[in-house]
Amino acid sequence: MKWIRRILIAIVLIIVLLIVGVFGIIAVDSVAGDVATNYTNVSYPADDGTTLNAYMATPTGEGPFPAVLMVHEWWGLNGEITEMADRLAEEGYVVLAPDTYRGPTTRQIPRAVFLRVTIPEERVDQDMLAAFAYLASRDDVDVDNIGVIGFCYGGGVALRHAVLNPDIAATANLYGDTILDPADFGALLDADAGPVLGVFGTADMQIPVEEVEQFEQALAEADIEHTVNLYQDMPHAFIQPDNIDEPGQPQTAWEDIKAFFAAHLQAADAEPGA
Does the pLDDT at position 26 exceed 60? no
Residue type, 226: H
Residue type, 243: N
pTM of the complete model: 0.89
Does the pLDDT at position 52 exceed 50? yes
**DSSP string over 114-156:** HHHHHS-HHHHHHHHHHHHHHHHHSTTEEEEEEEEEEETHHHH
pLDDT value of position 170: 98
pLDDT value of position 63: 87
pLDDT value of position 62: 86
In three-state form (DSSP H/G/I as H, E/B as E, the rest C), the secondary structure along 175-191 is CCCCCCCHHHCHHHHCC
Does the pLDDT at position 18 exceed 70? no
Does the pLDDT at position 19 exceed 70? no
Share of the chain above pLDDT 70, in %: 85
Please give the Cα distance from 110 to 132 (Å, whole number): 30
Please give the Cα distance from 233 to 211 (Å, whole number): 16
Q: Which one, of 93, 144, 95, 103, lies nearest residue 127 by Cα?
A: 103
pLDDT value of position 34: 86
pLDDT digits (tens, 9 = 90+) for 83-121: 999 999 999 999 999 999 999 999 999 999 999 999 999
Please give the Cα distance from 239 to 155 (Å, whole number): 12
